[in-house]
Amino acid sequence: MKGGRASLLAAVLVLPMSVRGPQSVPRLVSGDYLSDPFMKALQRSGSLAQAIEQAPGPVRGHVEAQGESRRVTRGDFTGDCGAVQVLPNGALEPVGDGGEAPPGAVSVVSSVRFTTSLCAGDEATFLHVGDHAAWIGHVLLGGRYKDPRGARYVFGASGQATFAGVRHAYRVPLDPAAAHLELDGVAYAYTLESGTLRIFDLLDTGEPAAEPRWSLRRNVTDLPKANPKPPEKNP
């Protein structure tokens, strides 16, 4: 009789473990992501072309909230090459008609980090950066500068620049073949060598002018950091 009671008690203790629901995983924050090797290579080289060449596989990711699930896509700066749906329990579903989600296509590490083998044979880790174009532009040009007269120039993190007290919107087009900078929608050529940023008008031929419109010395102690801070809230 005692043996029967012991067996029943053991069964009762095991039962909750056997009926426990699937484990939930962190919900990825919506927005743009970049691969960790690309982010490190970009800050190390200061060159978009070199960073793309040194990073394996497509370097851009995007997460879109769809209820409790998340749609994760991967691609380059011109388009997507693959997508998968991540359910709240971490399971994957294919996007589109038919087929199955590739095993291990996306693994959620935290709300701002995931690994993926979408579009590539090897896994890569991706980090949330908010707006990938703004993040890249800030890494390439971000910081404080002075012109030869001592006037202050700032390239900020949100695509805003201040030139001697005048604000401008800036972006770096994500075309590795062209080192261009846009200020308030106007394209300029630029070089950044040995801490000096030179910004040139573009001629009708598309070539840069012989002399720079701005020649600015960068404060090397005020450069942007490689990894962004995680957002405080999960949208």
Whole-angstrom Cα distance, residue 123 to residue 74?
12
pLDDT in tens, 82-119: 899 999 998 898 887 666 766 668 999 999 999 999 98
According to the model, what pLDDT value does residue 4 have? Answer: 52
pLDDT the model gives residue 179: 80
Long-range contacts of 76-83, Cβ-Cβ distance < 8 Å, separation of 24 or more? 76/52, 77/174, 77/175, 81/118, 81/119, 82/118, 82/119, 83/118
Residue 77, pLDDT score: 92
Contact 118/126 with Cβ under 8 angstroms? no
Report the pLDDT value the prediction gives residue 23, as an integer from 0 to 100: 60
> Is the pLDDT confidence value at 6 over 60?
no
Question: Are the C-beta atoms of 31 and 135 separated by less than 8 Å?
Answer: no
Domain boundaries, the chain: 31-130, 141-222
**Count of beta carbons in the 10 Å neighbourhood of residue 148:** 8
Shortest CA distance to 72 belongs to which of 119, 134, 37? Answer: 119
Q: Which residue has the higher pLDDT, 142 or 14?
A: 142
pLDDT tens column, 162-207: 998 899 999 999 987 778 999 999 999 999 998 999 999 999 998 9
d(Cα 137, Cα 218) in Å, to the nearest integer? 15
Residue with tokens 């030179």: 198
pLDDT of residue 232: 46
pLDDT for 167: 94
DSSP H or E run through 226: none
Q: Looking at residue 10, what is its pLDDT?
A: 43
pLDDT cut 90: percent of the chain above it:
60
CATH topology of domain 141-222: Lipocalin (2.40.128)
Residues of the chain above pLDDT 70, percent: 81
Angle between helices 132-141 and 36-45 (to 10 degrees): 30
The rounded distance, in Å, linking the Cα atoms of 96 and 174 is: 28
Q: What is the mean pLDDT of residues 133-141?
A: 93
Half-sphere exposure of 148 (CA within 13 A, CB side): 5
Residue bearing tokens 């590490």: 109
pLDDT reading at 8 higher than 70: no
CB 66 within 8 A of CB 55: no
Rounded CA-CA distance 166/157 in Å is 16
Q: Residue 24 — very low, low, confident or very high, per pLDDT cuts 50/70/90?
A: confident
Question: What stretches of the chain adopt beta strand conformation (E)?
Answer: 31-35, 60-66, 69-75, 80-86, 92-94, 106-110, 113-116, 124-130, 143-146, 152-155, 160-163, 166-171, 180-183, 186-193, 196-200, 214-218
